[in-house]
Amino acid sequence: MTHRPSDTAYPTPIDTHPVLYVARDENGAGPWLWAFDTRTREPRRVSVGVEQYSSIAASADGHRLVASLVRSQVNLWSVPILNRAAGEPTVKPFPLSTARALTPRFGGGKLFYISSRGGADGLWSYQNGQAAEIWKGSDGMVQSPPSISPDGNRVVIAIRRDGRMHLHVIAAEGGQLRALATDIDVRGTSSWSPDGKWIVTGGTGKTGMGLFKIAYEGGEAVRIASGNALDPV
């Protein structure tokens, strides 16, 4: 009935035709609340805003609904590096103009992080009190921390495409997006080599899971280890 690249949960008929359910969108954002028309076989999102739904159910007559609604708040905080354990009073919120922020990484004098404007997460940077959107989540959701090149001029991000995660490199100022080794369905974070010539990542290739080395200039990924591998440094 549906062909979504993500889990579809809590199917809830409310009439002879509509069926409500909970699922993420094609970019991996959500989970949102959806309605499926069994006559037209077309799904449509019925929830709006940033609220996420974790479950949905209906009364026997279909006149009342009960749902689990999630309004998560994720923001950055700073902790000083001391010669002792930092206490709670020393932890301060990191001021950002975006509503949410996660997976911070420093590079090239900037702070890079993942955030959104109510939809799928994209890539943002922060410098001198100014936040800038580098990559829009609506063009492809970013689901893992960014990896900053040693010179700070390039950023590698993993973007969901057709139900798979692919590495892309983008300029630190935005633009010049280029896919890397699209035959690898990546998992976890990636890391640059100290000379900035290649990137290493975990994922799944044609012959199964492994750790892969990918040249920045392009070309096929080189398997350097087999088996489940995540978050290389």
Same domain, 61 and 131: no
Please say if the pLDDT value at position 130 is more than 70: yes
Q: Are residues 58 and 82 in the same domain?
A: no
Q: Examine the fold and report which residue of 70, 85, 103 is the final residue of a domain before the chain moves on.
A: 70
Q: Binning pLDDT at 50, 70 and 90, where does residue 118 land?
A: low
Q: What is the pLDDT of residue 27?
A: 67
| Nearest Cα residue to 222 out of 178, 173, 181 | 181
| Residue at token pair 């040249």 | 215
Q: Which amino acid is at 200?
A: V
What is the average per-residue pLDDT within 52-61? 89
Contacts of 81 (CB under 8 A, 6+ apart): none
- The residue ranking higher by pLDDT, 8 or 191, is 191
Residue 52 CA: distances (Å) to CA of 27, 55, 93? 15, 9, 24
pLDDT at 112 over 80: yes
Q: Which amino acid would we find at residue 182?
A: T
- Residue 164 CA to residue 125 CA, distance in Å, equals 25
| Residue 210, in any domain of the structure | yes
Domain assignment of residue 232, yes or no: no
- Look at 49 and 216; give whichever has higher pLDDT: 216
Residue with tokens 């000083």: 80
Containing structural domain, residue 182: 77-226
Structure pTM?
Answer: 0.74
**51 lies in the same domain as 82:** no
